[in-house]
Amino acid sequence: MSPGRLEGHLRQRRDAGRKLLVPYITGGLEGWLDAIRQAAAHGADAIEVGIPFSDPVMDGPVIQAASERALRSGATPMSILDDLSRLDIEIPIAVMCYYNTVHAAGVERFASLLARAGVAAAIVPDLPLEEVDPWAAAADSAGVETVMLAAPTAPDERLPRIIARCRGFVYAVGLLGVTGERDELASTAVALASRLKAITDIPVLIGVGVSNAEQAREATNVADGVIQGASVVRRLMDGGPDQVGEYVAEVRRALDAPRG
Amino acid sequence: MLQAPGTDGRFGDFGGRFVPETLIPACHELERAFEEAWGDAVFRSELDSLLKSYAGRPSIITECHNLGTRLGLRLLLKREDLNHTGSHKINNVLGQALLAKRMGKRRLIAETGAGQHGVASATAAALLGLECKVYMGALDMERQALNVFRMRLLGAEVVAATSGSRTLKDAVNEAMRDWVASVETSYYAIGSVMGPHPYPYMVRMFQKVIGDEAFAQCRGLLGGDDPDAVVACVGGGSNAIGIFSGFVDTKARLIGVEPSGGAAVGRGVPGVVHGMRSYLMQDEFGQVQEAHSISAGLDYPGVGPEHSYLSSIGRAEYPSVTDDEVIAAFQLMAREEGIIPALECAHALAWIVREADSLRGQTVLMNLSGRGDKDVAQMMDILG
């Protein structure tokens, strides 16, 4: 199977020697579309857009608060996809949504809604390998790439099966825990990225607990890139879209600086 | 007999394992550990011995002569309220805490609504020398302050869930977040027949003792006959599945009574939250709706997947009752029988009272799954 739009894009940049940066932004949060434009203009390689859900069990306090705020302001999956379909950026978009959002729409309908909105990929954090088939089949036929998560707890025999089902990139969960900023990059992050890099050529990005430019740099000593969520969303909520742009630029510089 | 779910953890179309990848190995490990323990005579006799000499099993059956006369039917109560800690929750928790120890886990995580599962978990942890952290909705901590104090007295840490509706649903979210972070050292003791596989099945097997006992007790009391209806309240649905499991092959109607403000089976549509596909109160976009019930233990927008299955095949019925009907039933049982029921169980009685005409002359077995001491302060406010 030839790589889809997101995977092709990330592979090309990775193979040209670039470390990949994917900021996460909660859809429907005040200023979110400008934040995406800012991130795109300051060095993001793709954007992960979170579709807010009432019960985000993989998320810590910052993204929970952002989700609640977006929902209170009236955001729905449809309003977010509608806005994304009119968004004028060059880099691919992946949405992150909990499975009930997909389930409520129906897998085929949701896949075609994403495709119509120009969304390249989907990340569904509560849809493990055991449950992913109906969605993955619908997504494949609609041309939407399904990013799979790999966790530090996965036994060795499980990782190749995850990768076989994975499109776009593989999302290496950096630590045991929910999204949120931490003082240090967990040792599990690099360890898992190494295990994945040893068995696959698909881009390996570490997310969850990559909290600043320094940690992003450390993570990409092994991984192909990072996803940064809480640190981005916190800046959007506290400071606004410009601060997201400044932060993405700072992380970009750290990723691009020569390595010893 | 209720069947075991398939290897995909499903009862029909319901159940499954919709959890973050991080937790999947733990679900597989638990599935293996439970099967092994359940088949091990040593584990079973250890559990049986705790149920007997610590929890006080078997629980008795009480016939309600006064209420029966008044309602024109024969009413039997399965007295789970007389168990140690005051509810059926201890049956499940003793099983899971023993299993946690066997798996080498030193710390229990639990969620609680009314506090009964939290108290049972704190109790089992104290007995077996485990640490225990209980997540409870901030609103529930206010209305069940007595149980919060009991848990702390038993040595558990009680943490308020302050997001969303600040009730059971949010306590489950917080417990799952803790579990994602601590999965290597902690055991998540889910309090009902919900969550990812194997929990709905495992908790049913631990609660099946209610139905097994009640079936034999009824046969004795009714001269070899079975009751016409078996009635229990349903939040997640563990006390209901426990008693249903003894009567699924009999003629008895199986009635699971939901609160009208949290009627997942009655008013929900299939959805996925907390690791399972089941009936769920949600909006058109799949946002989970907040339940509203006078009873903290039933204030939950979902339901265990096996109940969704039993409803879908027509074997069990899931009517709902209003808070006002529950308040009346609560007082009725106290005055007529000298038994103060938990507000949760008052739902079951409220349905029986409402349906008394259609049940005339029949024998009804109701699971009195918990005692009402915990609800007295709340009822003082309501009744003035």
Q: How many domains does chain A have?
A: 1
pLDDT bin (cut points 50, 70, 90) of residue B384 is confident
Residue A29 maps to a domain:
yes
Q: What are the backbone angles phi and psi of residue A158, rounded to the nearest 5°?
A: -80, -35
Mean pLDDT of all residues in chain B? 96
Please report the ipTM that was assigned to this predicted complex: 0.96
Give me the sign of the Cα torsion angle A184, A187, A188, A193: positive
Angstrom distance (rounded) from CA B22 to CA B179: 10
What tens digit of pLDDT does each residue of B304-337 get? 999 999 999 999 999 999 999 999 999 999 999 9
Domain of A212? Answer: 5-255
Q: Which pLDDT belongs to residue B163?
A: 85
Which residues of A form the catalytic set? 48, 59
CB < 8 Å to B160, chain A: none
Three-state secondary structure readout of chain B? CCCCCCCCCEECCEEEEECCHHHHHHHHHHHHHHHHHHCCHHHHHHHHHHHHHCCCCCCCEEECHHHHHHHCCEEEEEEHHHCHHHECHHHHHHHHHHHHHHCCCCEEEEEECCCHHHHHHHHHHHHHCCEEEEEEEHHHHHHCHHHHHHHHHCCCEEEEECCCCCCHHHHHHHHHHHHHHHCCCEEECCCCCCCCCCHHHHHHHHHHHHHHHHHHHHHHHCCCCCCCEEEEECCCCHHHHHHHCCCCCCCCEEEEEEEHHHCHHHHCEEEEECEEEEEECECCCCCECCCCCCCHHHCCCECCHHHHHHHHCCCEECCEECHHHHHHHHHHHHHHHCCCECHHHHHHHHHHHHCCCCCCCCEEEEEECEECHHHHHHHHHHHC
What tens digit of pLDDT does each residue of B75-134 get? 999 999 999 999 999 999 999 999 999 999 999 999 999 899 999 999 999 999 999 999
What tens digit of pLDDT does each residue of B150-192 get? 999 999 999 999 988 899 999 999 999 999 999 999 999 999 9
Strand order in the sheet with B157-161: B157-161, B131-137, B107-112, B186-188
Decide: B276 and B266 in contact? Cβ < 8 Å: no
Is B64 one of the annotated active-site residues of the chain? yes
Listed by number, the residues of chain B in 277-316 with a beta carbon closer than 8 Å to a beta carbon of chain A are 277, 280, 282, 284-288
Residue A163 maps to a domain:
yes
Residue A46 maps to a domain:
yes
User: Is the preceding peptide bond at B200 cis, omega within 30 degrees of 0?
Assistant: no
Answer whether A130 sits within 8 Å of B17, measured CB to CB. Answer: yes
DSSP-assigned beta bridge partners for residue A145: A121
Answer whether B25 sits within 8 Å of A158, measured CB to CB. Answer: yes
What tens digit of pLDDT does each residue of B14-47 get? 999 999 999 999 999 999 999 999 999 999 999 9
Q: Which pLDDT belongs to residue A1?
A: 62
Q: Where are the domains of chain B?
A: 10-50+89-199, 56-87+208-383
What tens digit of pLDDT does each residue of B275-305 get? 999 999 999 999 999 899 999 889 899 999 9
In CATH, the architecture of B56-87+208-383 is 3-Layer(aba) Sandwich (3.40)
CATH topology of domain B10-50+89-199: Rossmann fold (3.40.50)
pLDDT at B13 over 70: yes
Residue from the list A53, A58, A158 with its beta carbon closest to the beta carbon of B180? A58
- Pairs of residues, one from chain A and one from chain B, whose beta carbons lie less than 8 Å apart: 116
pLDDT at B69 over 80: yes
Angstrom distance (rounded) from CA A40 to CA A44: 5
Q: Which pLDDT belongs to residue B76?
A: 98
Angstrom distance (rounded) from CA A12 to CA A34: 26
Averaged over B353-368, what is the pLDDT?
A: 98
Residue A106 maps to a domain:
yes
Angstrom distance (rounded) from CA B238 to CA B193: 5
Residue A165 belongs to a domain with what CATH number?
3.20.20.70
Residue A218 maps to a domain:
yes
The low-confidence residues of chain A, meaning pLDDT below 70, are: 1
Nearest CA in chain B to A150: B21
Q: Which one, of B121, B124, B235, lies nearest residue B189 by Cα?
A: B121
Q: At CA B238, angle to CA B232 and CA B243, rounded to 5?
A: 50
Answer whether B282 sits within 8 Å of A100, measured CB to CB. Answer: yes
Residue A171 maps to a domain:
yes
Which of B18, B167, B185, B280 best probes binding to A when mutated, by most A CB atoms within 10 angstroms? B18
Structure tokens at B208: 């099946």
